Chains A and B, each alone.
Chain A
Amino acid sequence: MRSTYSHYRLTVLIIVTAAISGCMAMMAPPANLDYSRVRTSVNGRYHAAIKPDGDSIPQGKLQKWTLHLETASGSPIDDATVSVDGGMPQHGHGLPTKPLVTRHLGNGDHLVEGMKFNMGGWWVVKFRVNTTAGADSVVFNLKL
């Protein structure tokens, strides 16, 4: 249910952003985007860091990422349920794959498999994190 709701919210976000950008679609992404690979969740519950394989994120190739999760006070999280979603706000479409967290690696690290970006431009990747402390989302911006 939560996952459906999360997907719904992301879809609405993408549609609204696409509508606002209107004829801006396909153009350069907004200038003030934060492309940091370390982010705090929307409601401040968690800190998250993504570690793609290598320094740059290749286009058109499946990748494995490590997602590191910590509480707001800095304790590693190993018992989270995590779902992955995303897309291209300016194009109005989602990810070309359905990535999943396939393994808890310990020390707050989670293996994310199935990441792929089939075109250049601005992408968002959203992790919906759920623990006993509650649910929250972390959104990363990427520029390929």
Chain B
Amino acid sequence: MTSTVSRLAIVRLVALAASSVALLAFTLAATATPRTTSATWTADERALLRSLSLSALEKLPADPSNKYADDSAAMLLGGRLFFDTRLSGNGKVSCATCHAPDNGFQDGLPLGKGVGTAGRRTMPIAGTAHSPWQFWDGRADSHWAQALGPLESPAEHGGDRTQYAHVMRAHYKDAYEAVFGALPDLRGLPERAGPVPDTTRSRAWARIVPVRQDEISRVYANIGKAIAAYERKIVFTPARFDRFVEAELAGRQHSVTDAFSDDERAGLRLFIGKANCSTCHNGSLLTDNHFHNTGVPQSTDGAANDSGRTTGVRAVMASEFNCVGKHSDAKRDDCSELRFAVSEGSELVRAFKTPSLRNAVTRPPFMHAGQFASISDVLAHYNRAPTAPAGKTELKRLRLSDSELRQLEAFLNTLVSPVGFPGATASRGATAAP
């Protein structure tokens, strides 16, 4: 009896093993199709593939406007500030509320939700230190200037710079002073005051003498610089696409971890060819860091008549926290992106920043106000190239078939990888130590 049971168990085990092997073989055949086909790419295509790979990413550029950008103590302070809800009007909102580390540093909502509702979608952070412009409309020209925008926005953190200076003195005095030097004397200053839309606080701000306003604004700028020192360490890690390119260009046999299915391979060909995606989604981060009108429909819930870069460029030119402002550490010659920015013209109307396509498929809803629920909706939009609600779309009709659209979507899924950031301890979900 015992021996019959044992034999039955062995038969079952062998059957299970055989079926597992068969399933694995089928899965490999269906999804991996390992092979070497480097000869099928032209020299130009090989150069383009190399340029899109993360291995071609240049060293993180210095930020001359923030002399603390690569200071490790500033980075540690910035990391604490990033998660601190005391930096908000209601004590409930931190940077991480919308830029959630376990969700690729974004929130998955059509419009950011802080103290109120923002006019646009929360942008992810990974890799953005490589961009000269921040926000969908580029209204900040550095990470630190970007961080300061939401802090005083009534819809986002809802606080003000005097409040934040008090928070720094009460909770971060030693860490702040170790990086930036002595905090100013805040005695006699109101608890809440700043150049914000709220009239009570803006009037209180107006009553502060200019020299003390400057001291508070300096602390405020330094909060941004510390947060920037943290944010610039948030990076993309290599995706299957990067491993595929490495093996493909080396003419190496693909392994299970770097092979592409036929659909993914066809999608890549469309991406760099007929579908024109790599025109704007170029370079290792798959963005040209510029602004384009792609005819995205008006959001029903977001900012009304959002004109994109038209207002963004005016805002960055006028910002007290831009590269040439008094809180910047840069010399004028270091501020060429700002000095030579296109400041007017029809091309700016409803032009929004090209987002990186790395991890894009993990970030629905899509576009600057979450107008599209799925990546297939996005691809259908690019295929159709409709008239823009304002300005002129740069898109031209693609005439891709349904199967080509499916192949493109399959390719975009190969661009997913964990996001690395300081303090991450495990490769879980969308996060990992770099």
Contacts of A100 in B (CB 8 A): 340
Contacts of B51 in A (CB 8 A): 59
What is the minimal beta-carbon distance from A119 to any residue of chain B, in angstroms? 5
Q: Please state if B340 and A93 are interface contacts (CB–CB under 8 Å).
A: no
Task: Say if the beta carbon of B339 comes within 8 Å of chain A.
Answer: yes
Q: Please state if A60 and B342 are interface contacts (CB–CB under 8 Å).
A: no
Cα-based distance from A99 to B51 in the complex (angstroms): 26
Number of chain A residues close to chain B: CB under 8 A? 23
What is the minimal beta-carbon distance from B261 to any residue of chain A, in angstroms? 27
Tell me the A76-120 residues at the B interface (CB within 8 Å). Answer: 91-100, 113-114, 116, 118-120
Contacts of A72 in B (CB 8 A): none
What is the minimal beta-carbon distance from A24 to any residue of chain B, in angstroms? 10
Q: Please state if A94 and B345 are interface contacts (CB–CB under 8 Å).
A: yes
Tell me the B299-337 residues at the A interface (CB within 8 Å). Answer: 336-337
Which of these, B283, B341, B394, contacts A59 with CB under 8 Å?
A: B283
Task: Say if the beta carbon of A25 comes within 8 Å of chain B.
Answer: yes
Contacts of B88 in A (CB 8 A): none
Q: A26-B276, A93-B394, A121-B279 are in contact. Are A60 and B336 (CB under 8 A)?
A: no
Which of these, A60, A91, A98, A119, contacts B340 with CB under 8 Å?
A: A98
Contacts of A121 in B (CB 8 A): 279
What is the minimal beta-carbon distance from B245 to any residue of chain A, in angstroms? 17
Cα-based distance from A54 to B357 in the complex (angstroms): 30
Which of these, B276, B336, B342, contacts A96 with CB under 8 Å?
A: B342
Task: Say if the beta carbon of A50 comes within 8 Å of chain B.
Answer: no
Cα-based distance from A26 to B272 in the complex (angstroms): 11
Q: Please state if A60 and B341 are interface contacts (CB–CB under 8 Å).
A: no
Task: Say if the beta carbon of A62 comes within 8 Å of chain B.
Answer: yes
What is the minimal beta-carbon distance from A12 to any residue of chain B, in angstroms? 14
Q: Please state if A98 and B343 are interface contacts (CB–CB under 8 Å).
A: yes
Closest to A88 in B: B279
Supply 4 further A-B pairs (C-beta < 8 A) apart from A93-B394, A94-B342.
Answer: A98-B342, A114-B336, A119-B280, A119-B282
Residues of B within 8 A of A (CB): 48, 51, 276, 278-280, 282-283, 288-290, 336-337, 339-343, 345, 347, 394, 396
